Amino acid sequence: MSGLSAGTLALLALFGFVGGVGITALGPGGVLPTIGLFALTPLSPGAVAGTAIVTHVATGTLATVAYTRSGQLRERHTRRTAVLLATSAVLGTPAGVALNTLVSDRTFGVVLGILVAAAALLMWHREHRRPAATRTHPPAPLVVGTGFAVALASGIVGIGGPMLTVPLLIALGMPTLESLAAAQAQSIVIASMGTIGYLAHGMIAWPLAAVVGIPELAGVLLGWRIAHALPTRTLKLALIITLLALVPYLILHG
């Protein structure tokens, strides 16, 4: 953490906290720690991804426990979706970590910016489309393909998975709380596999992981309560605007 001011460290902690809220309240949110590390520190793309992804081991575990407690992960179809997503992540995440080693700062920023824009647009679509008459659970091959693609992207830039998995599952007809729950279980596998890969390359800045990850855990608990207790429309719109506003900076930052 040498060379980083107290103000920068406080901003990183804030990115972690808000990201944690977004993880369990909305899905897209776990990208904020990655954005903070990329924008505010001199870390390489590999170190940014590695430091961000290690925080999601704890957040994914805590969120999974929370959604098990509230009943979503006790439901058979949701549990099945979670297992399929997690299984596909075993293959997708290491492939993403390997691809990260080929990525320059500029390319990392462009890829991150594209993923952020995609997440924001998926949220916007979800917010404005007409609700389906019935909610369904998508077929296994579609879940596996979605899980692999998300894990691949997560391994490259160091996100946990819910950022893309939740809006995609909802777009496929799965209920919101069940989508959030299944994505948290997937996040554990993505984060664990990603941590192993980046640790092998020596690309985890542990002090910064603590600065971001501890507030992120507090945000996860708050976000879980928000998801069950409050309308999240305002929070969604704020996150959409924030993510879209950050896209040009991310693309140009590298």
User: What is the distance between the alpha carbons of residues 55 and 162, in angstroms, rounded to a whole number?
Assistant: 14
Report CA-CA distances (Å) from 96 to 114, 182, 227: 16, 21, 30
Model confidence, pTM: 0.85
- The per-residue pLDDT for range 14-52, each reduced to its tens digit, is 999 998 888 887 766 778 899 999 999 999 999 999 999
User: What is the distance between the alpha carbons of residues 157 and 33, in angstroms, rounded to a whole number?
Assistant: 11
Please tell me the predicted confidence (pLDDT) of residue 135.
62
DSSP 25-42: HTSTTTHHHHHHHHHHS-
- The per-residue pLDDT for range 47-87, each reduced to its tens digit, is 999 999 999 999 889 889 988 988 888 898 999 999 999 99
Of the candidates 152, 189, 208, the one whose C-alpha atom is nearest the C-alpha of residue 56 is: 189
Over residues 108-118, the mean pLDDT reads 88
Over residues 103-128, the mean pLDDT reads 83
